[in-house]
Chains A and B, each alone.
Chain A
């Protein structure tokens, strides 16, 4: 048995960095069966406890090994509403695959790749959505605010239990970060649309263009007859560096840049969305969002794209796979560099990013080594656009219009381990609670909340 995973077929780096088609092409049935056979089917199943939504991993992999992909799909979807998405964007290396026994010697089983294969196989082979029977309606109504991963999961789990669920989405298209944030080449939007369609099969209703906190308050949702509310409103407003020049023309938040490209399709000529062509772009930050922005920038035709990050490769928070892909696509990593000023020309347009070199000192409260400026090492990076990807802070809209909904010092909604907030019948999860995190953690929270809402309404 090979110590290595079956490699994922991918588009060539220097081809794909000029298009928006999916980077990873997916396993063939033969590859999937071969990979599935690497699973030891161990008794204590560390992978399952490593998964925020507890997918029955060895069981579904055993079915893949047998070539019974339909049964594998049923097993996955008994706990995971969005397998085609998770198979693509979960950080498996820190979760299921990170604790896989196979990984002790050699590479772990490619669990994410197998999950993706099973989900894609199911979509492509046109099997009816009837992998599960439609549930009997139980007569209870639940409102879900936000159609990102937390909201979709919560809605899906509740609908499967017979609840009448309505999702309220502020944008014109459902999907949240899955449609405005994560780029097409990592997560094709057709797949998101299909997963949402499946939820609709279970009776979930989606109302777009509905901004809760403005058009309606949480209290009004209760007045309209919803018996419980789940808030999955996302990470919120982009943070800026608060350095001079951040309002110059050509400085974007990653949210703006990615929204123009992913949701508003600035890369397709038939769309009206404008986006200035830039020759050299600096992306400030080292997370997955920074990688997405940098890789989009390359695809939009920038000659040179830099990641500017103040710590070293070791502290870089992005997934290893994203960093690897970005490097293959010729993104240039300017590590141990901290921006101090955006430089503008006489017309107020970006013409450079002044940085200072850093070195690492003693560990700080986050446990990471604290970056310290090297005095006098300032230099100007020649760029004509700057994208700031250093995180977000919570959106005040729902908090400010919902009495009794407590938030913490950072403005995130306070929720207990069952995702219950300080307001009765109101639950919350995902980035609105944790601050910016991952799709799968948001899904885990949505799942927990669905369980809690079910218990709450059954005992009410």
Chain B
């Protein structure tokens, strides 16, 4: 069942699960930093690859029992029909994904979802990425840079051992400002301080794009507010379907209820209700912690039974 030649099947090499559904092949896997906190995977998904743009995301599912997990598209190759994702193995599904290797298959990979990043009318932009958020900020910076926009990328990490994508980011923007909180690499300090320094020094931006943990995006918005620079953020609420059906990813923007999956994921950061978003994202913390122990200690990622 479910064969559709031009879409999911490539060169007759597609793999099907026991229900006849197309599966998605992991064609490449790479650990991105010394501390192994971030993994990159290249997935064969021609239907996603043919049209996706920077700022959009996918939802993957490991297997029949797995959750639907959203991840931002980090890169794509339309010719090869592949899509690159980067993730931190922290929840049950991302940890199980991390245990898979090149040549393995996952059950589902759907996208592109969400609206692409707006690039129209922009001449100079600062893109701020925090931690693994750089994996998402990088394709936006690269996309803008390729679009002819001058991009200052400010990439912040806690310390040197978790730095990711330095070469890629450097190649994908006009100026890279790499920062670490502890000063173990690059400029010592927070991304918000670097951003303020740049603005104070007279760099004028049409827009600041902040992508990373909610708390970091909130502080970037606080930092840019006095300068009246439009600040776009990419939100990451809990999500199930990703196509505008379940309403789980609702966020309050300018007092209105918006759905991150169809109205976003990018919004004007000055208008986002950050405390509400952070609170909603904490809902399943306990389950996440429990799942982490479960995966690591009990099964080693193998499904029960």
Contacts and interface: CB of A to CB of B under 8 A. Distances in A.
Contacts of A255: 245-247
Nearest to A166: B4
Interface residues of A, number: 46
A207 B7 CA distance: 8
B109 A237 contact: no
Chain B interface, >50% SS class: loop
Given A170-B241, A237-B245, A270-B65, A211 B262 contact: no
Contacts, number: 132
Interface stretch (A28-36, A76-84, A256-264, A369-377): A256-264
B92 interface: yes
A417 interface: no
A10 B280 CA distance: 40
B269 interface: no
Contacts of B287: 274
Given A249-B280, A253-B246, A272-B93, A211 B110 contact: yes
A238 interface: yes
Contacts of A200: 1
Given A240-B250, A242-B257, A214 B113 contact: yes
B111 A206 contact: no
Interface string A379-407: 00000000000000001110000000000
Interface string A219-255: 0000010000000001011101010001101001101
A209 interface: yes
A236 B245 contact: yes
Chain A interface, >50% SS class: loop
B112 A247 contact: no
B47 interface: yes
Interface string A186-208: 00000000000100100001111
A247 B280 contact: yes
Interface string A325-343: 0000000000000000000
Contacts of B243: 170, 211, 214, 395, 397
Contact of A259 (B6, B51, B240, B304): B240
Nearest to B93: A272
A171 to B, nearest CB: 7
A215 B110 CA distance: 9
Interface residues on B, range: 35 or more
Given A172-B107, A209-B109, A348-B279, A264 B51 contact: no
B176 interface: no
A125 interface: no
Given A247-B252, A260-B240, A348-B279, A170 B246 contact: no
Interface in B275-290: 276, 279-280, 282-284, 287
A183 B245 CA distance: 17
Nearest to B48: A215
A180 B108 CA distance: 17
B155 to A, nearest CB: 29
B21 interface: yes
Contact of B51 (A215, A236, A240, A252): A215
Contacts of A205: 1-4
Contacts of B93: 272
A272 B67 contact: yes
Of listed B65, B113, B241, B247, residue having the most chain A CB within 10 A? B247
Contacts of A43: none
B41 to A, nearest CB: 17
B61 interface: yes
Contact of B241 (A171, A210, A246, A252): A171
A272 B65 contact: yes
Interface in B2-22: 2-4, 6-8, 21-22
Nearest to A249: B283
A207 B1 CA distance: 9
Contacts of B48: 215
Nearest to B49: A215
B157 interface: no
25 contacts: A170-B110, A170-B241, A171-B241, A172-B61, A197-B1, A207-B2, A211-B111, A215-B50, A216-B51, A234-B245, A236-B245, A240-B250, A247-B280, A253-B246, A253-B247, A255-B247, A256-B246, A264-B68, A264-B240, A265-B65, A270-B65, A272-B93, A274-B287, A276-B284, A397-B244
Given A172-B107, A253-B248, 9 more contacts: A208-B22, A211-B113, A236-B245, A253-B247, A256-B247, A264-B67, A265-B65, A272-B291, A395-B243
Query: Closest 8 CB pairs between A and B?
Result: A253-B247, A209-B110, A238-B247, A256-B246, A274-B287, A172-B108, A348-B279, A207-B4
Interface of A: 166, 170-172, 180, 197, 200, 205-211, 214-216, 224, 234, 236-238, 240, 242, 246-247, 249, 252-253, 255-256, 259-260, 264-265, 270-274, 276, 347-348, 395-397
